[in-house]
Amino acid sequence: MFAHVHGFHYLGLQTYRINVEVDIVAGLPAFNIVGLPDAAIKESRERVRSAIQNSEFDFPMRKITVNLAPADIKKEGPSFDLPIAISILKATGQIKQPLNDYCFSGELSLTGKVRPIKGTLLLAEKAAKRGTSFFLLPESNAREAALIENIKVIPVKSLLHTVSYLRGSEKITHFPSYEVKQATENFSEDLSEVKGQILAKRALTISAAGAHNMLMMGSPGAGKSMLAKRLPTIMPPLSKKEIIDITKIFSVAGLTNNGHNLIAKRPYRSPHHTISSAGLVGGGQSAKPGEISLSHLGVLFLDELTEFRRDSLECLRQPLEEGKISISRALRQNTYPANFCLIAAINPCRCGFYGDKVKQCLCTPSEIRRYKQKISGPLLERIDLHVNVDRLTKEELISYKSNEKSSEIRQIVIDAYSRQKKRFTKEKINLNSQMKPAHIKKYCQLNKESLEFISQAVDKLGLSGRSYDKILRVSRTIADLQSAEDIKTEHIAEAIQYRQYDRQNTFG
Ligand SMILES: [Zn+2]
């Protein structure tokens, strides 16, 4: 007796169609699963057997062979329990209906309950692409899968529930498709809540507009993380495709709370400095996405940058350059997108109060020098904006001056985004921070006056050739924020302000 049913599988963000085949022949009772199963699938035998028996079905006392094809794809996780059980019931004639239009995913409990799985969004997308009509999956995964168009999501509670539906003895209404546009951003914070900090807020606006990485320096309590946390509120809203792309990464990481956490706003992630390299960039046992991928299209905030492990920070080089990360594990490689805006924060010295107006710094000059040398050079290479965040004075703290709202700043940022999009239609980049030297040459042409100004400034302040490119990239964004076609001297003058650590020549 032979039967087969459709299932799907993912490795990283890659998805595959899996044929679950079962052959039942006379012979000594045995139950084997072949097709490169990992430990979880071997355990699946016990779950499938108990679930079938405890759901009032007969488990055949014959030789059962299950093949998960194709065999050369590594299978992981418990999501094949349901399709395996269904294929056995089909082969033994306990389900008579044809199953070609259906696909299945779900873990089974010993009592036959269907338990949630990870990565449903990816599986549903693949199922829809393959033209499968009905996707039967765990009830609590339904909402996430229903984001995908052209597929009917059938939420099932148990093996018995599933079979009753297939036999037509029980009706299950398909989960209503969930429109991404119904998702709201719901920010609980706003940039207007931050008092003072005019320069830092301006730098944040430039960072949002051109996706420029930024370094903030200031004493503890100056409000660095408060500022960083509000960056997503002034970045442009996500498109439908971007929402799905980000939610897929969260789905694979098991962080979508069964579809209730559709990632509808730009992510903000702020891992603690004790995080491992695998936690930061991804990897570990199951090659899961790391913090840099969870902040894809959003913000990665590294507070107390000097405290992070050096090897972890070194791992950021590739993603900062390419917007993605490849993680190798065993015989395969998972690639995850990691196109994030990096905001790093540091104290000005070990004790934290060098240059503070109120509290005195207790560090010696050599301690201050050593502290600043701790910052990874290659990382600094990728940072376009430097800004000081000073603690507020008493007057600033008690002032009730109204501040610009996030929504107002966001509108200007959106305009600057569309200018960049238009400019780069024929290029492989979207934003000013991604400009390579050839783009800079083409899109950041200066008139004679501006050219003179920048070369004088570079000489006078002892800036390196590399900071020259950064100044031009940032100037281009400042000009875009003003809807200016050409980069003018005033734009360059402002951009130079954000290279102050080069000027102090402290981080050589
Ligand atoms: Zn100090």
Q: In 10 A of CB 38, how many CB atoms?
A: 13
User: Where along the chain do its domains lie?
Assistant: 2-167, 198-410, 435-508
In CATH terms, are 2-167 and 435-508 the same topology? no
Q: What's the pLDDT score for residue 336?
A: 94
Sorting pLDDT into bands at 50, 70 and 90, what band is 11? confident
* 28 has pLDDT over 80: yes
Q: Which amino acid is at 375?
A: I
Mean pLDDT value of segment 71-84: 87
Sorting pLDDT into bands at 50, 70 and 90, what band is 505? very low
Separation of 74 CA from ligand 1 center, angstroms?
53
Q: What's the pLDDT score for residue 358?
A: 79
> Is the N-terminal amide bond of 70 cis, ω within 30° of 0?
yes
Separation of 391 CA from ligand 1 center, angstroms?
15
Separation of 446 CA from ligand 1 center, angstroms?
41
Q: What's the pLDDT score for residue 180?
A: 66
Q: Which residues are found with C-beta within 5 Å of the ion, ligand 1?
A: 349, 351, 354, 361, 363
* 502 has pLDDT over 90: no
Separation of 364 CA from ligand 1 center, angstroms?
7
Mean pLDDT value of segment 31-58: 87
Q: Which residues contact 450 (CB under 8 A, 6 or more apart)?
A: 487, 488, 489, 492
pTM, whole model, 2 decimals? 0.87
Domain spanning 198-410 has what CATH number? 3.40.50.300
Q: What is the pLDDT of residues 341-368, one digit of tens each?
A: 999 999 989 898 888 877 889 999 998 8
Its CATH class, for the domain covering 2-167, is alpha beta
Q: What is the pLDDT of residues 435-492, one digit of tens each?
A: 999 999 999 999 999 999 998 888 888 777 778 899 999 999 999 999 999 999 999 9
Its CATH class, for the domain covering 435-508, is mainly alpha
Separation of 361 CA from ligand 1 center, angstroms?
4
Separation of 359 CA from ligand 1 center, angstroms?
10
* 508 has pLDDT over 50: no
Which is higher by pLDDT, 279 or 256? 279
Separation of 500 CA from ligand 1 center, angstroms?
19
∠ CA(167), CA(168), CA(171), 5° rounding? 130
Separation of 351 CA from ligand 1 center, angstroms?
4
What sign has the CA pseudo-torsion 251, 252, 258, 261? negative
